[in-house]
Structure 1
Amino acid sequence: MWDKQLMMAVIVGATITAVLTVICFTKHSIHISIKLHNIEIEIKKEQKKKHLKHS
């Protein structure tokens, strides 16, 4: 009886840990892609400024 409860606790704990890890990783990935997108926009703005100065 106790073994079954222990197994359930371990499974539930592992599931929660896995879900939290995935959520954190997903948030982190989204954050990184937003940052990269913003950097790209900044680079394009700079390139346009330089291009205007040259012509």
Structure 2
Amino acid sequence: PESGARRRSIIKGRDLVCGVPHEIEVSEVEIVDALGEPRSQIHGRCMANRIQAQ
């Protein structure tokens, strides 16, 4: 992202504890942080499959 330009998004869903609709505001940094580990796992498995297929 450009320096100083931090985008934020409203995420809507259902609160799993209360069962009611809920919305939160998150930054692009929070989204990148949240997706970091799953992305690494997907990448690792893809690379393992690629090596195994050779």
- TM-score higher than 0.5: no
> Where is the helix percentage greater, Structure 1 or Structure 2?
1
Please state which structure has a larger fraction of its residues in strand: 2
Q: What TM-score, normalized by structure 2, do the two folds share?
A: 0.41
TM-score by length of 1: 0.41
Of the two structures, which has the highest relative contact order with CA contacts closer than 8 Å and spacing of 6 or more?
2
Structure label with greater radius of gyration: 1
